Amino acid sequence: MGFGCNAAGVIACRIIDSPRERLIAILTNNFAPCNGRFPTLILLSTLFVSSCFVENYNSLVTTLSITSIVLLGIATTFFTAWFLSKTLLKGTPSSNILELPPYRLPQVGAVIYRSIIDRTFFVLKRAIYMAAPAGAVIWLVANIPLGDTTLLSYLTHLLDAPAYYLGVDGVILLAFILGLPANEIVVPIMLMAYLSTGQMVEIENLATLKEVFLNNHWTLLTAINTMLLCLLHYPCSTTLLTIHKETGSKKWTAIAFLLPTILGLILCLITTFLARTFGLFV
């Protein structure tokens, strides 16, 4: 239910009658790539994964790599749901009953109201709550001087050490951290850091964009791990606010934040270790 928007997917979990299973669905909803993550996945797959193959098959390879990422997310959803049902959320599974309700004529006004006010409006309102302060924080981080450098450069160098073991660099880690308000801004933040522009930028030319990445020591391994982090990291701030509203619990909101993040870090550690051990993707 989260393929379009994870926040909307969380709200859609209301249709599940069992509180236990509804909570499992909410916690695993983030493993479905939302519209904010698909552009990053497609971009990196196009620039790095498909370029390893014959040009005639680039589109096919890109499609297969994105499909693989989506299938990985689905597999992670099933595994995590099973794990939660055996640990934190033990209980008796509810019965699967298919029942046709009495037919009623659709109430157009009620449908429009629920769609716009109860779903779209509240999701957008939560996004706005986070967007304004987050934009200010990102600008300040990029422009506050710190000796001969900026706070952004200092933080990226600070994160370089742990990022090495994840097969990425400090810029990528910081981009995901600062990209909490929306997944769409992760790549612009990377470019802001790499190009030292002081503000988020976009590069439309793919060749130029790839050159920027290559000039900053990106490899196929870097791209793969960035795609894995894109799939498996904490929900955006709007989704987290929605989870808190739907569950009424800081505990489950924290678990929803930590669960995909820990899985993503572990997967990147394993991928990087295997790649460097066997000389793959470098």
CA distance linking residue 154 with residue 58, whole number of Å: 38
- pLDDT single digits (tens) 112-156: 777 776 667 766 776 677 777 888 889 899 999 988 899 999 999
Find out whether 45 and 220 touch, Cβ atoms under 8 Å: no
Q: Domain coordinates of the chain in residue numbers?
A: 6-89+130-278
Residue 145: alpha-carbon gap to chain centroid = 30
pLDDT on residue 17: 86
- Could you give phi then psi for residue 149, rounded to 5 degrees? -130, -165
Are 158 and 150 contacting, i.e. CB atoms less than 8 angstroms apart? no
Picking from 227, 234, 238, the residue whose alpha carbon sits closest to that of residue 271 is: 227
| HEC per residue, 107-123 | CHHHHHHHHHHHHHHHH
In our burial notation (b when 16+ CB lie closer than 10 A, e otherwise), range 146-164 reads eeeebebbebbeebeeebe
pTM: 0.90
The pLDDT value recorded for residue 133 is 82
> Do the Cβ atoms of 271 and 228 come closer than 8 Å?
yes
Indicate the SS3 state at residue 150.
strand
Q: Give the number of other Cβ atoms within 10 Å of residue 104's Cβ.
A: 6
Alpha-carbon distance of 183 to 191, in angstroms, equals 14
- What is the distance between the alpha carbons of residues 83 and 216, in angstroms, rounded to a whole number? 39
User: Which parts of the chain have pLDDT scores under 70?
Assistant: 1-2, 96, 98, 117-119, 122-123, 126-127, 282
> What pLDDT does residue 282 have?
67
Instruction: Output the six-digit token pair for 71.
Output: 């299938």
Residues 6+ apart with CB under 8 A from 245: none
Question: Quick count: other Cβ atoms within 10 Å of Cβ 178?
Answer: 22
